[in-house]
Structure 1
Amino acid sequence: MRVHFHGAAGEVTGSMHLVEAAGRRILIDCGMVQGSPEAEARNFAPFPFDAAGIDALVLSHAHIDHVGRVPRLTMAGFDGPIYAQAATADLLPIMLMDSASLAESDAERANRKRKPGQPEAMPLYTREDVRDALKQVRPLPYAARTELFPGVEIAFRDAGHILGSSIVELWADGRKLVFSGDLGMKGTPILRDPEPVREADLLLMESTYGNRNHRQRSETVHELGEILDAAWKDRGNVLIPAFAVGRTQELLYWFARHWDDWDMARWRIYLDSPMASKVVQVYDRHHELFDAEAREVWRGTPNPFRLPNLRVTETAEESMSINRLHGGAIIIAGNGMANGGRILHHMRQNLPRRQTRIVFVGYQAEGTIGRRLVEGARWVRIHGHDVRVNAHRHTVGGLSAHADQQGLLDWYAGFAPSPPLALVHGEDIAREALAGEIHERHGVEALLARPGMALDV
C-alpha cells in the first residue's frame, strides 16, 4: 500500500490523498483550496494524477475543503463510485450546488467588468457539472465494513466534527490505513464524540489546532452570552461568519438552551444563507446521529431550528434588506472565513460602526479576510472598497468544530500500539507542536506530509 499526499499537506484546506493498493487507486477527499485569491486559483490547475485512472473516491465529510473539487474530478474523467456516509451524501448536493452557484456568479461578475482583450472568466464548475457528479455517489452507514473491490475494504466511524463526518478505515494488502478526517471536540452539542480506533498500520491525522487548546466550552458559552448582552446595550448588530453546516447549528442550539437567561426573544435573528433551510432538513432527517442531550433539546421549546424570532433569508433581496438594520440583529451568514458569500455585504455595512460586534467561531485560514480581522487589521478590502474596522472583534475558539491539541493527543492515545503517523490538514506551526508532543509521549516520529510526497505502508 502506498499513500500519495496531494492536498492539505502543510495547510488546512484542499484535502486530497491518493492510496494505491491491491492494484487499485482510491482517492480520499477531493477538497477545494481556500484562502487568498492566489491560493484559490490553484483549484483550476490540473490534478497531479490521471483522474480517469482513479477507481473510487471516498469522502470524509461534506465541508467544501474536503469535497469542493469533486465536480472537477468528474469533469477530468473520473467515472467511478463516490462513497460517503449517508448524512454526508445528503449534505453533498447542498454544498456543491451552492459552490457552483457562487462560482457561476463570480464568473458572471468578472465578465461584466472584463476589458477588451481580456480572456473570458469561467466558473470552476457549473450546477450541471454538480448534477453529473452526484450520480456517482454511493451512501454508506457508519460501522459497516464494505468491500469496494476484491481485496479493498473501508468502514466509516463517527468523527464528531459535523453531521456525517467520518474517520475512514481502509484495509488492503494485509495492511490497515486510518484517516482521521476532521475530528471534533468531545462534548460538542448535537454530535456524538469522535469514535476511538484501536489499531492502524498508518494513521493520517489532522492537526488544525495541534499547537493550542480551546477554552472550556462552558466558559465560551458564557462569553457568548456576555457579547450579546453588551451588543444589545450598545444598540449594535452582531455578525457571526459561519459555514452552513456545523457551527451554525450549534449557535442555534445555544440560543435555544439559553432562551430565557440570555433574553433571546428581544433579538431579530437572521440565518442569511440560501443553504440554511435545506441543511436544517438534513439534520431533521438524521436525529439518530444526535447525542442524547441534543435529542432532548429538540423535543423541547423552543426548537433550535424553529426559534420564534429566527428568519431564514433565501433571496438576495431579503439579505440586502438586513443591511437597513443598525441594531438589534444577530446575523449568521456564510462563509465562515469571511472570504466570500453574504457575510461580506454585512461586514461592509457594519464593520465601520463602533456598536457592531463580529464574532469568529471557527478556524480562519491564512489569506482570508477573517484571518486578517482576527489578527487586528484596521482596514480590509471588500468588493473593491477599503472598509474601516471600528467594530469590536471576538474570537470564541471554544466553539470550534475541530479537536484541540489535547483532544488530538487523547484520540491518538486510544491506539494500541501507537501507530506511525503522518500529520495533515494543519499549518506547520501547528503540526510541529503536535509532532513534538506525540514524540515526547509515545516515542513516535510523525511525518509532516508535503504535496507530492509518497509513503509506503
Structure 2
Amino acid sequence: MPLPRITHHGAKDSVTGSCHQLWMDDHNSLLIDCGMFQGQDARLDDEDLALEFPIDGIKALVVTHVHIDHVGRIPHLLAAGFTGPILCSEPSARLLPIVLEDAFKLGFTRDPKQLDRYLQMVEKRIIALPYDTWFTLLDTGTQSCRIRLQPAGHVLGSAYVELDVDNAEGNASRVVFSGDLGAPHSPILPDLVPPEHADLLVLESTYGDRRHEHRQDRNAQLKAVIERALADEGSVLIPAFSIGRTQELLYELEDILHDALDDEQPQRPQDGDSNDAAGSEVDWPRLPVILDSPLASRFTKTYRELQQFWDDEARERLADGRKPLAFKQLVTIDNHQDHLRVVDYLTKTARPAIVIAGNGMCSGGRIVNYLKAMLGDHRHHVVFVGYQGQGTPGRAIQHFGPKGGYVDLDGERFDIRAKVDSLGGYSAHADQQDLINFVTRMKTWPRQIRLVHGESRAKQALASRLRECYEEEGIKVDLQENL
C-alpha cells in the first residue's frame, strides 16, 4: 500500500524552518507548519516575500504549535496568495495572532492600518480544533482527508497531528506528524499520550542523541544557581523564548520564592549569636524577578487566561490562592525607555535581581542590551536553560564563556567575564528515550518513520536506537534518517 508523498520545505536536516507538504494526490496537498529558519540555518533572503515552493493546490495549513521556527513564514505564505484555512488547537488559536503580529512587524511593516488588515485576515483563516476530535478537511466521495490534534506537551497548545488519508485508488493511510514533542514533568502542561498507531510517522529528532538529566530536581538546581550567582553580588540574566520557556521559569521561580519565604521565619537570637547570623544569604523577600519582554508578557497573560489547559498540579496551586504567573515579586517591563533604565541601573549597581529577557538564543531582542552592558562584569551570571542553535550568539557564549572568550553582538566584540551556567533538564523537547517511548508505546508501531527537525548526529543516533527496537521485535521498518 503506497503511503502519501511528503515534500519537506524545511527542518529536513536541521532543527529550524519546519515545513512539510503532504500530497493527497498529484494536485491537492496540505502544509504541516511553515516555520522560519534560524541560527546557521537562516537564509540571506529571509526578508524576501517569495517562498521557495509553489502554493498551488495547498488546501490548508496545519499548525502544530506557535514557536517561530514552526510559524514564522506564515506571513510569506499569505503574501504569496495562500487563501486556505489555518488549523490549530484552541490554545494555539489564541496565541498564534500574537506571534504573527510580531513577525509581521519585524518583517513587513509597523503601519497600524496594514497591521490591522493583516491580523483580521489571519483571524478569519484560523479554525480552532478541540483536542481529540476528528475534522474532515476533504471528502469528494472518492478521496478524503481528516485530521485530529492531540496534546504534545511541548508548549501550551502544542499538538501532534493524526491524518487519515484515503485516495482515489482506495488506499488508506494513517500519517502522524509529531511536531515538537514535550518532555515529561514539564510545568503547567499535562504529559503527552502517544497515538494508538501510525502507518507513517514523521518524527522530530532535536535531542535524538541525548538524555535530559535532572528533570525531577531541576527546581533545586535553579535555586542553587541563583544562590551561587547572587553570592557574587550581581544579577542573573536568563535568555528565554517568549512562549513556553518563560512561563515555565516564572512558574518554578514562584515555587522557589514561595518555599524560601515560608522557610524564612523570624528567629530569636540565642546567647552568643550575632544579630545577623540567622537567615538566608539571598534576601528572597526583596529579590525582584524582572520580565523584560513585551511579547513574553502578552503570552504570559494569555497563559493565565487558558488555565483550563493547565495540568492538575498547576490548577491545585491556583486553588490554594497562589499566582504562579503573577506573583508579588514579578516586575514586568514593557516600554523601551524603562528597559534602558533597568539595563543602566543593574549595570551600575549590580543589584541582585533575576532578569528574564528574550530571545532565547541571544540573536536579538532585549537580552542583547543586557549582555552588551553586563558580560564584561565578573559579578553577573548568564544562565542558559534551553537549546542554543549552532551559529547563534547563545551557543558562542555557552561554549566560549567558561574559557574566558568573547562573543560578537551586533557586529561588535564583547569579552565574556560574567560566569556562564547551563542548566540541564529544562528542555521543552523530548529526549532520546522520550522519542523512543512515543513509538514503542503505540499499540501498532509505524512501518515507516521519517526523522526530521534534527542535526545529523542526533538523527543518526535516534535511527540506530529505533532500529534496535524494531529488530528486537522482528519488525521491518523503512527508517529514513536522511531524506
TM value normalised by structure 1: 0.90
State the match for 2:220 in structure 1.
222
Which of 448, 454, 465 aligns to 1:426? It is 454
Which stretches in structure 2 are left out of the alignment for 5+ residues? 167-171, 262-283, 472-476
Indicate the structure whose relative CO is greater, using CA pairs within 8 Å and at least 6 residues apart.
1
Task: After TM superposition, give the deviation of residue 307 of structure 1 in Å.
Answer: 1.4
| Pairing 1:244–2:271 present | no
Cα distance between partner residues in 2 of 1:2 and 1:286: 36
Which of 422, 430, 435 aligns to 1:408? It is 435
Which of 20, 38, 41 aligns to 1:34? It is 38
Cα distance between partner residues in 1 of 2:149 and 2:193: 10
Cα distance between partner residues in 1 of 2:108 and 2:41: 16
Please list the CA deviations of residues 68-110 of structure 1 after superposition, one character each: whole Å capped at 9, or x if unmatched.
Answer: 11110010011011101011111011111122333358x99xx
SS in 2 for 1:275: helix
Which of 380, 389, 398 aligns to 2:416? It is 389
Please list the CA deviations of residues 412-445 of structure 1 after superposition, one character each: whole Å capped at 9, or x if unmatched.
Answer: 1112332110001111111110000101111335
Aligned residue pairs total 433
Whichever residue aligns with residue 63 of structure 1, its letter is: H
SS in 2 for 1:100: helix
**Match runs of 1:179-328 below 5 Å:** 179-262=177-260, 264-323=284-343, 324-325=345-346, 326-328=350-352
Which of 356, 367, 388 aligns to 2:391? It is 367
Whichever residue aligns with residue 268 of structure 1, its letter is: P
- Bigger Cα displacement from structure 2, 180-189 vs 379-388: 379-388
SS in 1 for 2:146: strand
SS in 1 for 2:149: strand
Please list the CA deviations of residues 151-201 of structure 1 after superposition, one character each: whole Å capped at 9, or x if unmatched.
Answer: 110000000000000000011121110001100011111101112112111
Alpha-carbon spacing, 1:88–1:382, altered in 2? closer, same or farther (3 Å): same
Please list the CA deviations of residues 124-145 of structure 1 after superposition, one character each: whole Å capped at 9, or x if unmatched.
Answer: x967545533331111110110
**Match runs of 1:98-247 below 5 Å:** 98-103=102-107, 129-150=118-139, 151-173=144-166, 174-247=172-245
Please list the CA deviations of residues 334-364 of structure 1 after superposition, one character each: whole Å capped at 9, or x if unmatched.
Answer: 1111111111111111111111111111111
Checking the alignment, whether the CA contact within 8 Å between 1:350 and 1:391 is kept in structure 2 is: yes
Checking the alignment, whether the CA contact within 8 Å between 1:25 and 1:54 is kept in structure 2 is: yes
Sequence identity (%): 39
Cα distance between partner residues in 2 of 1:51 and 1:133: 17
SS in 2 for 1:192: coil
State the match for 1:446 in structure 2.
479
| Pairing 1:58–2:62 present | yes
Cα distance between partner residues in 2 of 1:164 and 1:441: 31
Task: After TM superposition, give the deviation of residue 276 of structure 1 in Å.
Answer: 2.6
Whichever residue aligns with residue 83 of structure 1, its letter is: L
Whichever residue aligns with residue 441 of structure 1, its letter is: C
Cα distance between partner residues in 2 of 1:129 and 1:350: 38
Cα distance between partner residues in 2 of 1:267 and 1:234: 14
Cα distance between partner residues in 1 of 2:106 and 2:285: 33
Which of 404, 409, 426 aligns to 1:399? It is 426
| Pairing 1:437–2:465 present | yes
- Bigger Cα displacement from structure 2, 194-203 vs 211-220: 211-220
Mark the structure with the bigger radius of gyration: 2
Q: What RMSD over aligned residues (CA atoms) do the two structures have, in Å?
A: 2.1
Cα distance between partner residues in 1 of 2:86 and 2:119: 13
TM value normalised by structure 2: 0.85
